[in-house]
Amino acid sequence: MTGSLLEVIALDVRDAVAAEEGGADRLEIVADMSVGGLTPAPETVEAIAKQSALPQMVMLRSNAGFTVTPEELRGLERAARELADAGAAGFVFGFLDEQGAVDLLATEALIHAVTPLPWTFHRAVDNAADVQASWRAVRLLPNLATVLTSGEPSGIAAGLPVLRSRAEAGDAPLILAGGGLRAQLVPPLLDYGVRAFHVGGAVRESWSHPVDAERVRRWRELVDTI
């Protein structure tokens, strides 16, 4: 990897191949972006592994919200084993309870299920009732690689001050900046010390279109302008 880390959302093999061609460092594998991304099939991960050498961070999420039932959690634990066998390099998950606080019991159960693979806490952290408290809780969890965050539920444009304060507090290495990320927001994030970026819609015409390798290439150049 040169410069910053660039992670691209991929729904299938075609997306993965285009992301790799454009210079992405790793993939986030999801299904059904109409609800923000759910757990993909192991067959998808296996097929991508045969066509792309990029590490796959695979989503573990059962519904459109950020809560999880005990039954759903057991299903995600089973899915994690199957996805790891299929070629996952790590996972993306994280839950809130009914009061909007980080659901530590559910999250820690999945951490145990995916160990020793790394994992990313996804944007549930931005949708908590108390965003600052959620960040404090998440950053202390074991084996945490990155936190996919925009700082605010509405996206990075509004969340820049939050991300800046986190970076100034020494947490820049944990930040995977994503959620409404646009090109003009990259320079200030780089100035804060953020070095990991996550893009999905920005590298395709729409979610009904595949990843565009040339758009990925432009993002590669942008995040490497340190």
**Tens-place pLDDT, residues 144-194:** 999 999 999 999 999 999 999 999 999 999 999 999 999 999 999 999 999
pTM of the model: 0.96
Which pair of structure tokens corresponds to residue 35? 């609800």
- Would you place residue 34 in the very low, low, confident or very high pLDDT band (cuts 50, 70, 90)? confident
User: CB 35: neighbour CB atoms within 10 A?
Assistant: 12
Tell me the Cα Rg of the chain. 16
SS3 (DSSP) at 144: strand
Please give the Cα distance from 108 to 40 (Å, whole number). Answer: 21
Read off the pLDDT of residues 136-145 as tens digits, 9 standing for 90 and up: 999 999 999 9
Is residue 69 over pLDDT 90? yes
Backbone φ, ψ for residue 2 (5° rounding): -105, 140
Per-residue CA distances from 137 to 82, 116, 140, 174, 180 (Å): 28, 21, 6, 13, 24
Is residue 1 over pLDDT 50? no
Please give the Cα distance from 18 to 26 (Å, whole number). Answer: 12
Peptide bond just before 153 cis, omega within 30 deg: no
- Would you place residue 36 in the very low, low, confident or very high pLDDT band (cuts 50, 70, 90)? confident
Q: Tell me whether strands 5-10 and 90-93 are parallel, antiparallel or unpaired.
A: unpaired
Q: Which amino acid is at 63?
A: N
Q: 217-225: long-range contacts (C-beta < 8 A, 24 or more apart)?
A: 217/22, 217/23, 218/183, 219/6, 219/22, 219/183, 220/6, 220/22, 220/23, 220/24, 222/183, 222/186, 223/3, 223/4, 223/6, 223/186, 223/190, 223/197, 224/2, 224/3, 224/4, 225/186, 225/187, 225/190
Per-residue CA distances from 45 to 56, 82, 89 (Å): 8, 10, 10
- Would you place residue 3 in the very low, low, confident or very high pLDDT band (cuts 50, 70, 90)? confident
Is residue 2 over pLDDT 60? no
